């Protein structure tokens, strides 16, 4: 080694004195210690998602028993003190002594990572579990867990605290039941919250009931005494029932829901896997679909009950077979002439609602989130099973086939018209050097990673925003009135709308087939509307637009909602802003030194005296309310209620809603795509009745309605 290099090495050793790296620095964590040390690695997060995943892990064991043909009932009960009880009537976890571990198999399953009947060749042919981490991790992350096994006519019990067994597995009585009951309480030192969300649980378990036909899932909420609520799900129709549920708020284009369920062993040496399949065991394919009178494509893909938001091989097989079979049928029946082009994949998927569920022995997922299925044999199985069944369905149901082909042909015509309209816009932009909309006040920075686009309601607010903004990184695009409801419009009609056209050009990504997210001109797109009914409607229209045509903007975290204040409070030079009534009352108390109850009493007295026609004396301790309700004076504090963004001057708008240091914004996320899809359809779709029922149901919940 050169002398210069030796000096560098010696110097580095000295600087790292005391930081030796040898056997003594290798930490070995026993049992479930690594789970408690790094919970996020095992449960995904320590937030609400990870908390609810605890329930899914335990429920999955029951579903695995059901898929193996040993159970048909799962009962989930939420108990006080954030306790959860999950029972399934399966075979029950084995309790005999494990040869290697020398303790009960129940203790092995509950206290050892990667222990269970899903790793060998005898426990389960197909498993929905292990897509997470197993019940042992739930045990590790629980303050308390109790396992009860009903097996061989006896009740076997073991209790744990933070994954540590308190006693050996023991029999405590006789029973005629069979199955397993797990009761656990999440560790409040691990999770950010241990409060379970009822709706989240109900939605997830309903989906699982659809995906596992013939399983009865009961859910009880007993957290509040004498206020038990419950749901029971049981679907003989499987994913066929699921499609009917998803299309509940839409008009179908054909009466019958297509459905097929069949298992097949993939052939060796297929085009997807020329050297032979990885697993020769049967793959179960279950598919249902129905076309509706809408323009979007809704495909929900699952592998072993795990949702795959990015699709995968099974979705590729489905799309390939759908396009091929529909084109063959349309040609054979004369719907497509020799001179006509084939229907494209986009043509045959518009208005389609489909659920694809496959169950494979060894699922291969891309990424830790299991977002995409990678098994090549799954594509072949789906393509063969679905293709054969669809061809038979079309021949046996000519009326339904006519509705499906008619929908696809209409889509093809509209696609050509939309392409012409879109191309006209792009050509126009190219001729003008990609001229941005005249109403857009662009920012000076060209670094898309740091820039923001404010979509503002109205020219008045747009003017204030343009004057108050930071010109370096904030762009302003004012919209005139309400944009087109894209839930009810095709792409060609949508692009004819000037407001939408301006927005598409401002984003820079293009739209439809030409969408290119790498050309996005702004990192944050912030919707800034008035805090009233019209503002909420405009915000919903914009969210519908982004959800339907730019879902990646939402998934990648680019869409935000600005939250302007409702009130301005001023006492002398002391100026503060409140975003709601409670915050306003709190600030009045702070600025005026009076309690909330006194504020309410003053307001009550003011209204009472006004009603009696009594004249009021002005003073620091009296309140004044103008007849419009826009302004009031309490304890010498002037309170202004903003009816709209246009009432703020540029400085106020910057300080309250646009300054990154002080503003309040909410990022738009899609946690549950199916739920979001259902809500957008209900609120913005063409069918009026679901919207009417929603309004009638929730009208009493609305507070401070501004009409």
Distance CA 194, CA 700 (A): 30
How many other CB atoms are found less than 10 A from the CB of residue 684?
A: 19
More confident residue, 673 or 529: 529
Buried b / exposed e along 642-656 (16+ C-beta atoms within 10 A): bebbbbbeeebbbbb
Domains, the chain, in order of start with CATH, read 33-233 (3.30.565.10), 239-409 (3.30.230.10), 436-564+667-701 (3.40.50.670)
Take residue 165 and report the two structure tokens written for it: 């067994």
Quick check: 382 and 285 in contact, CB under 8 A?
yes
**Minimum mean pLDDT among 48-62, 259-273, 326-340, 438-452: which range?**
259-273
Write the pLDDT tens digit of every residue in 579-618: 888 888 888 888 875 555 455 555 555 444 444 444 333 3
Q: Which of 377, 530, 678, 681 is the catalytic position?
A: 530
pLDDT at 433: 41
Degrees to nearest 5, angle at CA 361 with 355 and 365: 65
Catalytic pick from 203, 279, 388, 534?
534
Phi/psi zone of residue 471: left (φ > 0), alpha (ψ -120 to 50 degrees), beta?
Answer: alpha
Most confident segment among 313-317, 483-487, 512-516: 313-317
pLDDT at 431: 33
Helix 239-246 with 673-684: angle, nearest 10 deg: 40
Structure tokens that stand for 216 in this block: 């009865």
Taking only the tens place, the pLDDT of each residue in 345-363 is 999 999 999 999 999 988 8
Q: How many CB atoms lie within 10 A of CB 687?
A: 15
Residue-wise pLDDT for 408-459, tens only, equals 998 888 877 777 765 665 555 433 444 678 789 999 998 999 999 999 988 8
- Note the pTM of the prediction, 2 decimals: 0.69
Residue 63 Cα to chain centre, angstroms: 23
Q: Which stretch of 260-264, 551-555, 624-628, 639-643 has the lowest confidence by average pLDDT?
A: 624-628
As a whole number, mean pLDDT of residues 260-288 equals 75
pLDDT tens digits, 227-241: 889 999 999 999 999
pLDDT tens for 158-208 read: 999 999 999 999 999 999 999 999 999 999 999 999 999 999 999 999 999
706 is catalytic: no
279 is catalytic: no
What is the per-residue pLDDT for 614?
Answer: 40
What confidence category does residue 510 fall into, taking pLDDT thresholds of 50, 70 and 90? confident
DSSP state string for 95-141: -SBPTTTSSBHHHHHHHSTT-STTSSSSS-SS-STTSS--HHHHHHT
Give residue 580's pLDDT: 82
Active site residue 530: yes
HSE-CB at 448 with a 13 A cutoff on CA atoms is 13
**pLDDT score at 264:** 92
| pLDDT at site 243 | 96
- What is 573-599 written as a DSSP string? TEEEEESSHHHHHHHHHHHH---HHHH
Supply 493's token pair: 């009609």
pLDDT, tens only, 117-137: 544 444 555 554 433 357 899
Catalytic residue among 85, 377, 452, 532: 532
Q: Can you give the pLDDT at residue 472? A: 94
Torsion angle of C-alpha atoms 464, 470, 475, 481, degrees rounded to 10: -20
Mean of per-residue pLDDT scores for the chain: 82
Instruction: Give the integer Cα–Cα distance in Å for 39 and 43.
Output: 6
Q: Are 575 and 591 within 8 A, CB to CB?
A: no
According to the model, what pLDDT value does residue 273 have? 54
- How far apart CA 248 and CA 390 sit, in angstroms, is 23
Q: Percent of the chain beyond pLDDT 90?
A: 44
Q: Which of 457, 487, 499, 677 is catalytic?
A: 457
Q: What proportion of the chain, given as a percentage, has pLDDT over 70? A: 79
624 is catalytic: no
């Amino acid at each position: 080694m050169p002398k210069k290099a030796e000096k560098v090495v010696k110097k580095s050793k000295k600087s790292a004195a005391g930081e030796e790296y040898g056997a003594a620095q290798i930490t070995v964590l026993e049992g479930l210690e690594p789970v408690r040390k790094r919970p996020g690695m095992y449960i995904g997060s320590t937030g609400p998602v990870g908390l609810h995943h605890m329930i899914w892990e335990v429920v999955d064991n029951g579903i695995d028993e059901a898929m193996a043909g040993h159970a048909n009932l799962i009962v989930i009960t939420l108990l006080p003190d954030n306790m959860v009880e999950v029972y399934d009537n399966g075979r029950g976890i084995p309790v005999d002594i494990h040869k290697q571990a020398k303790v009960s198999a129940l203790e092995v399953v509950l206290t050892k990572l990667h222990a269970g009947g899903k790793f060998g060749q005898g426990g389960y042919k197909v498993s929905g579990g292990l897509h997470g981490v197993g019940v042992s991790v739930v045990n590790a992350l629980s303050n308390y867990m109790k396992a009860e096994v009903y097996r061989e006519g006896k009740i076997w019990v073991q209790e744990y605290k933070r994954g540590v067994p308190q006693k050996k597995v023991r029999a405590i009585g006789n029973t005629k039941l069979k199955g397993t009951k797990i009761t656990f309480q999440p560790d409040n030192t691990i999770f950010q919250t241990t409060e379970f969300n009822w709706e989240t649980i109900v939605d997830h378990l309903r989906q699982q009931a659809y995906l596992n036909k013939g399983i009865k899932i009961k859910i009880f909420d007993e957290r509040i005494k004498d206020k038990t609520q419950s749901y029971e799900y049981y679907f003989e129709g499987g994913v066929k029932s699921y499609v009917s549920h998803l299309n509940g708020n839409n008009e179908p284009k054909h009466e019958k829901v297509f459905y097929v369920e069949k298992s097949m062993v993939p052939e060796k040496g297929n085009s997807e896997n020329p050297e032979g399949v990885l697993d020769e065991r049967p793959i179960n394919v279950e598919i249902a679909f129905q076309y509706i009178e809408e323009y979007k494509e809704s495909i929900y893909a699952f592998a072993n009950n795990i949702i795959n938001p990015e699709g995968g091989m099974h979705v590729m097989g489905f799309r390939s077979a759908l396009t091929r079979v529909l084109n063959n049928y349309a040609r054979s029946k004369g719907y497509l002439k020799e001179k006509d082009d084939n229907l494209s994949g986009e043509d045959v998927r518009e208005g389609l609602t489909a659920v694809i569920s496959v169950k494979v022995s060894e699922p291969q997922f891309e990424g830790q989130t299991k977002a995409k299925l990678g098994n090549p044999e799954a594509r072949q199985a789906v393509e063969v099973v679905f293709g054969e069944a669809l061809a038979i369905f079309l021949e046996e149901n000519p009326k339904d086939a006519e509705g499906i082909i008619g929908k696809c042909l209409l889509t093809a015509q509209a696609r050509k018209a939309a392409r012409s309209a879109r191309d006209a816009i792009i050509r126009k932009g190219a001729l003008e050097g990609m001229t941005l909309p005249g109403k857009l006040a662009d920012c000076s920075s060209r670094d898309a990673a740091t820039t923001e686009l404010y979509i503002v309601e109205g020219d008045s607010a747009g003017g204030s925003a343009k004057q108050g903004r930071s010109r370096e990184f904030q762009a302003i695009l004012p919209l005139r009135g309400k944009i087109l409801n894209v839930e009810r419009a095709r792409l060609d009609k949508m692009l004819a709308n000037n407001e939408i056209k301006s927005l598409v050009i401002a984003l820079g990504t293009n739209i439809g087939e030409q969408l290119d997210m790498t050309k996005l001109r702004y990192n944050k797109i912030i919707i800034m509307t008035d805090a009233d009914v019209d503002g909420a409607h405009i915000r919903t229209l914009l969210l519908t637009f982004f959800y339907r045509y730019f879902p990646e903007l939402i998934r990648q975290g680019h869409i935000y909602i600005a939250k302007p204040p409702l009130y301005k409070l001023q006492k002398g030079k002391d100026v503060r802003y409140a975003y709601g009534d409670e915050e306003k009352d709190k600030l009045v108390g702070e600025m005026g030194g009076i309690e909330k109850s006194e504020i309410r009493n003053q307001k009550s007295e003011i209204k009472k005296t006004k009603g009696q026609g009594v004249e009021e004396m002005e003073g620091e301790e009296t309140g004044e309310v103008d007849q419009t309700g826009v302004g009031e004076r309490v304890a010498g504090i002037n309170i202004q209620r903003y009816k709209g963004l246009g009432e703020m001057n540029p400085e106020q708008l910057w300080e309250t809603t646009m300054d990154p240091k002080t503003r309040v914004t909410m990022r738009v996320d899609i946690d549950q795509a199916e739920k979001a899809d259902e809500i957008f359809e209900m609120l913005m779709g063409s069918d009026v009745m679901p919207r009417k029922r929603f309004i009638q149901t929730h009208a009493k919940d609305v507070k401070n309605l501004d009409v």
